[in-house]
Amino acid sequence: MEHPEERAAERSLRDMEQESEELGEHIEQTRTEWERKQRDPAVPGAESGGESDSGR
């Protein structure tokens, strides 16, 4: 029989895994949007070519 602490830990682990997955999806969406904006000459300051894109 599981102890309440074990169930709480498993639930917490599932929650953290879900949050991690959602964060990863958000990061990927943000990266995709930024790359799209870099290709769009109508977006000031987002042009590709240098220092602000070197963090990957």
Q: What is the pLDDT of residue 2?
A: 74
Does the pTM exceed 0.75? Answer: no
Distance of alpha carbon 4 from alpha carbon 8, whole angstroms: 6
Work out the average pLDDT over 4-13. 96
For residue 12, what are its two tokens? Answer: 């917490």
Report the chain's mean pLDDT, rounded to a whole number: 88
**How do residues 45-55 score in pLDDT, each as one tens digit?**
888 765 554 55
- Helix locations, the chain, DSSP H: 4-39
